[in-house]
Every structure is written in structure tokens, then in C-alpha cells.
Amino acid sequence: MSLRLGDAAPNFKAKTTVGEIDFYEYLGDSWGILFSHPADFTPVCTTELGKTALLNGEFAKRNVKVLALSVDPLDKHKSWINDINETQQCDVNFPIIADEDKTVANLYGMIHPNASETFTVRSLFVIGPDKKIKLTITYPASTGRNFHEVLRVIDSLQLTANYSVATPADWKDGEDVIVVPAVKTEDIPAKFPKGHKVIKPYLRTTPQPNK
């Protein structure tokens, strides 16, 4: 199954390291990140889950709940968590799904047969409170993800969901943003009272409205 931006994120029930969960119930009204890793007790995955755990406070600040997945069984997950905590100096306290029958992996298209017929690639989905897919990122097994970039795009998604703005290349929270073309230039002062610049008729910037 190929999920696209704006599609409803499929719901599922699954065994995890914190017990059985219903995905929608777990998310509640929060934003969510669902991400897969190829296998337990592998080096890149160890660093990724450790980094996610170390950024727990940043995700919580943004009202984001995290859920990881691999096709390995629950007992391996629980044993591996000890290694992650030891080597990455962290405390993994988010659920890791044991997707042995590949139900969730197939629902979300996490297995790419030309890369591996048995293991999940590094898929990552950002899901909004409306349970729609807001962002997808797919990395090969050999390349670890940049979780600071994940935080950056969540900042952008949450900002642009609430204001008529877009974020430019390399934007970071607190920097100027772009006024979307649907807003007429003459309407900008009322909508964005902090001021604006007209660089081109189609390129107008304004200070970040929620700062």
C-alpha cells in the first residue's frame, strides 16, 4: 500500500514494549510519529532509537507521541532496549511495536522488496491530530535519520497548520516565514501586524506570527 500526503493513517492494534495498543487511542489528540527500523541489535538502529529517547522532551513540548516498529519479536525488543539505554545514555520510554506478521509494515508500505523482502526500510510518518499523513520520509537501511530535521519539519507543519504561511528552505523555528500566495498583498498588514517585506509580488515574508 502506498500512502500519500493527506491520506488517513491506517489504524491498527499491535503488541508493543509497553503492552497492546490501539494506534488511534494511543495518539489521542496528539501529533504522532510512526517510524520503522530494519532489525533489532543493529548499530544504526541503536543510535536512532537512542537519539529519539534523548529528544523525548522536545517531542513532548510539541505534543508529539512517538512509536517505533520492527518485525522482530517482543522479547528481542525488550532485551535490545537495555543495550540502547546503556550505549546511548538514554531511557527508551516510547513503545516499540513487535510486528512479526508484518501487518503494520504492509499497511504503511514499509517493506520495499527491491531493498529487502523481509525487513522494513527506514520509513517515517508524521501524523496530525486529524489522523492524516502530514509528512513521509524514507531512508535506506544504511543511513541513519536526522531527528533534528524531524523536529524542524514538525515545527513547520504545526505553524503552517494554524497560519497562512509557508516556511522557506532551511527555515528554523523563530525565523521569518513566507506569506502564502492566497493572501493578497494589501491584506497582509491586517493579517500579519508584525510587518512584512515584498521581495517579489509572489515572494512576501513576515516575522513568525506565533513568536
Residue 43 C-alpha cell reads as 548499530
Per-residue pLDDT for the chain (211 aa), expressed as one digit of tens each? Answer: 589 999 999 999 999 999 999 999 999 999 999 999 988 999 999 999 999 999 999 999 999 999 999 989 999 999 999 999 999 999 999 999 999 999 999 999 888 866 665 567 689 999 999 999 999 999 888 899 999 999 999 999 999 999 999 999 999 999 999 999 999 999 999 999 999 999 999 999 999 999 8
Predicted local distance difference test score (pLDDT) of residue 74: 95
| Contact predicate 35/123, CB 8 Å | yes
Q: How far apart are CA 208 and CA 185, in angstroms?
A: 17
| Catalytically active residues, by annotation | 45
Q: Give all domains of the chain, ordered by start, each with its CATH number.
A: 13-145 (3.40.30.10), 163-206 (3.30.1020.10)
Residue 118: per-residue pLDDT:
57
pLDDT given for residue 114 in this prediction = 64
* Sole residue written with cell 523525548: 56
Please state the separation of Cα 148 from the chain's center in Å. Answer: 11
Supply the pTM of this predicted model.
0.92
What pLDDT, on a 0 to 100 scale, did the predictor assign at position 116?
A: 66
Sign of CA dihedral 162, 163, 164, 169: negative
The residues, ordered by sequence, that sit 6+ positions from 77 with a Cβ below 8 Å of its Cβ are 17, 40, 70, 96, 98
